[in-house]
Amino acid sequence: MVCIKVPATSANVGVGFDTLGLAVTFYGECEVELSDKLEITGCPVAFQTEDNLIYQSYKYVLDDLKRPVTPIKLQIDSDIPFARGLGSSAVCIVSGVLAANELHQLHLSQDELVKYCTQIEGHPDNVVPALLGGLSASYQMNDDIFFQHYPVDESYQFVAFVPDFTLETSVARGVLPESYPLKTVVANQAKLLFLLDALKTGDAANLDKFLDDGIHQPYRKKLIDEYDIVEHIAKESGAKGFYISGSGSTLMGIFTSQVDMKGLNTSLSTLKHKWKALDLLVDYKGAEVCHRTI
């Protein structure tokens, strides 16, 4: 039996639209073994079929390599919510690709694993940190996938504000304009450079300014009910930066001091939606695999 543990991710990180991704200490886990028939448990019944994204990712790798697709027994254990901007699909994809690699002893290289995960997801910004951990920039240029890791100072603490409503990526992408003023693009590029340095050094003095994106957040925040209220609560509690995680609906606060999580959740409990604050750090390990004897 193979046990797989994959971190959730927070993509974009403000000005890093479609480029930056951050692995956080919130996990999806599964146990998988070869079987004589497909059996999936631990998730809603609707996902206990051949359309399950973990199984589809497992099958994709084997089909591409022209290997027989042996059925699997899959037990899922994950609290990562679907369509909330925490990389739930990337977690499933990485799990499925790793399951194929381990169960069939494919010995895929890191680059090959990234390639398969990106092909299935369609873009690398979530799958790279889910697979490899940490903060990373990634970009696909034709058939080449480039990725680079960046350090994050240990003083930073991340708090995810997760609501009780979803926001589909297709909807969030649909509100974005087709073109932008040159001034906006240049500003985002400059802020991205300073953001990476601020995250590296721990200097949070201007962190909020460097996270002030003009490409996607001004449009997507309108789709997230109570955005301004949650941002106010986060900053009143000491957040030095605030941004939309992925395409939403989760929002992320960056803190440099101990966070009163009980107080945060008490404040959130007064809102219309059932927001929940999650205390997170950067995950540097990425996906982990272990073999267990039954």
Q: What is the CATH number of the domain that holds 198?
A: 3.30.70.890
Residues 274, 287, single domain; the answer is no
- Give the number of domains in the chain: 2
Strand spans (E) along the chain:
2-11, 20-34, 39-41, 72-78, 135-141, 144-150, 157-162, 241-244, 251-255, 276-280, 288-291
Residues 14, 118, single domain; the answer is yes
Q: What are phi and psi of 53, to 5 degrees?
A: -65, -30
Residues 133, 192, single domain; the answer is no
Q: What is the CATH number of the domain that holds 76?
A: 3.30.230.10
pLDDT in 10s for each residue of the chain, 294 residues: 999 999 999 999 999 999 999 999 999 999 999 999 999 999 989 889 999 999 999 999 999 999 999 999 999 999 999 889 999 999 999 999 999 999 999 999 999 999 999 999 999 999 999 999 999 999 999 889 999 999 999 999 999 999 999 999 899 999 999 999 999 999 999 999 999 999 999 999 999 999 999 999 999 999 999 999 999 999 999 999 999 999 999 999 999 988 999 999 999 999 999 999 999 999 999 999 988 776
Residues 7, 110, single domain; the answer is yes
3-state secondary structure of 60: helix
Residues 32, 64, single domain; the answer is yes
Residues 93, 232, single domain; the answer is no
What tokens does 223 get?
Answer: 């789709």
Residues 247, 184, single domain; the answer is yes
How many whole angstroms separate alpha carbon 162 and alpha carbon 168?
14
Residues 186, 264, single domain; the answer is yes
Residues 204, 270, single domain; the answer is yes
Residues 172, 104, single domain; the answer is no
Residues 122, 13, single domain; the answer is yes
Residue numbers of the domain that contains 32? 2-150+283-291
pLDDT at 294: 60
User: What's the longest Cα–Cα distance across the chain?
Assistant: 60
What tokens does 159 get?
Answer: 């708090």
3-state secondary structure of 200: helix
Residues 180, 108, single domain; the answer is no
